Amino acid sequence: MDATLPVDLFGGGVVAAPMAGGPSRPDLVRAVGAAGGFGFLAGGYKAPEALAADLDAMDGALPFGVNLFVPAPAEADRDAVLAYRERLLPEAAAVGADVPEPRWSDDDGYPAKLELLLGRVPAAVSFTFALPGRDAVVALRAAGAFVLQTVTCPDEALAAAELGMDALVVQHPDAGGHSGSFLGLRPFAGTLPELVAAVGSALSAAGAHLPVVAAGGIGTPGAAAAARDAGAAAVQLGTAFLRTPEAGTNPVHRAALADPGPGRTAPTRAFSGKWARGLENGFMRRFADAPSAYPVLHHLTAPMKAASVRAGSPERTSLWAGTGWREGRDEDAAAVVARFAR
Ligand SMILES: Cc1cc2nc3c(=O)[nH]c(=O)nc-3n(C[C@H](O)[C@H](O)[C@H](O)COP(=O)(O)O)c2cc1C
């Protein structure tokens, strides 16, 4: 892991995580880049046309990255999904929303988005939820993109390295939002620096020299320094940027993050069918037994979540947050970049 990130891309050592669902709008990515950090647009949960509009809004001035969710073979148990849908009906009705019929295919246009990025090549492309095909990695690198994969354990790091990735985003279970785990192993039990070190050792033992970007629960500059001391070339922060004015975080999510009252984050599958960490609310507690059925559950809960936000209620929407959320401040993106810079 002695390799370093290209300085012109990740010079400040602070990466603004891709955050699908609204937060990572072009305003945020531009502000992070202008402040000497490196920002990612979120291509997940987005039609190819909407991603193209985000690319248009970037002006081509500063380098930035784009993140894609890689579709993984659906493993949803139909009976479990249908039973879950029945239980969702009164929840959705409570905020005046419907629950759509299940959509069994992951039809958010991944191939079209990949094609788009091969034509309008950003400085970096990162993948999460599964490994992309080797062809995609080769084509993006040949087109000039720096290609990264999110991994959550040493075994996933080795699989990604074998695919020819330029770098890895090593994501700890303390991270806000979805876990990028793709081998389905038990969440890493140690700290983020221990995870970074474990990945570094595994890569070195395999003769792979990839730089690592550390992510997950980094709430203070001290936590960022500890990840760097363990070998990370940069840190990727999500939650720390959610309260910035440049982020597209919805008002209900912002208010929940700033709420000084009792609260905690917890992992949940209730909103999407895939494990993600967020501020615990009533919906998460009532649906702690949600089945593994991504992205089928995401589509089922989407209207309820939107209606909950419209109603100003944090009770039936996802409030993604990492364990460091209490350290968050109301400050602009440039201030976050400056605070966490190397
Ligand atoms: C609101 C939110 C949305 C996220 N969306 C994505 C995404 O679209 N793609 C992705 O690779 N990671 C996503 N993540 C995870 C981040 O990439 C990163 O791993 C995480 O934010 C780091 O932990 P932290 O939030 O404690 O800083 C998201 C995280 C949050 C908080």
| C-alpha of residue 79 to centroid of ligand 1, in Å | 30
Query: Edge-to-edge strand order for the sheet containing 276-279?
Result: 177-178, 276-279, 265-268
Pocket of ligand 1 (CB under 6 A): 17-21, 23, 42, 44, 67, 128, 150, 171, 174-178, 180, 215-218, 236-240, 320, 322, 324
SS (H, E, C) 267-315: EECCCCCCCEEEECCHHHHHCCCCCCCCCHHHHHHHHHHHHHHHCCCCC
d(CA 118, CA 297): 30
Tell me what pLDDT residue 74 has: 63
What are the angstrom distances between the C-alpha of 71 and each of 68, 100, 110, 155, 244? 9, 21, 7, 20, 30
What does the pLDDT read at residue 105? 73
- Spans of all domains in the chain: 7-340
- Residues with Cβ within 8 Å of 85's Cβ and at least 6 positions away in sequence, in order, are 99, 102, 300
Angle of the 134-142 helix axis to the 110-119 helix axis, nearest 10? 20
Cβ–Cβ < 8 Å for 235, 340: yes
The residue to mutate among 178, 250, 253, 317, having the most atoms of ligand 1 within 8 angstroms of its beta carbon, is 178
- Residue 61 has a pLDDT of 72
Q: Judge whether 69 and 128 are in contact, CB under 8 Å.
A: yes
Average pLDDT of adjacent 10-residue blocks, the chain of 342 residues: 69 93 97 96 96 92 93 85 98 98 83 97 97 98 97 98 98 98 94 98 96 98 97 97 98 97 96 97 98 95 98 98 97 98 90
41 and 65 in contact (C-beta within 8 Å)? Answer: yes
| Ligand 1 centroid, distance to 135 Cα (angstroms) | 26
Architecture in CATH for domain 7-340: Alpha-Beta Barrel (3.20)
pLDDT score for 73: 67
Q: Whose CA is nearest to atom 13 of ligand 1?
A: 19
Largest alpha-carbon pair distance within the chain?
Answer: 56
- Which ligand 1 atom minimizes the distance to the CA of 127? 11
Residue whose CA is at the smallest distance from ligand 1 atom 11: 128
**Bridge partners, 38 (sequence order):** 15
- pLDDT reported for residue 2: 45
Look at residue 107 in the predicted model and tell me its pLDDT: 64
Q: Which atom of ligand 1 is nearest to the CA of 175?
A: 23
According to the model, what pLDDT value does residue 169 have?
98
pLDDT for 6: 80
Ligand 1 atom 9: residue of nearest CA: 18
| Residue keyed to tokens 């000084």 | 260
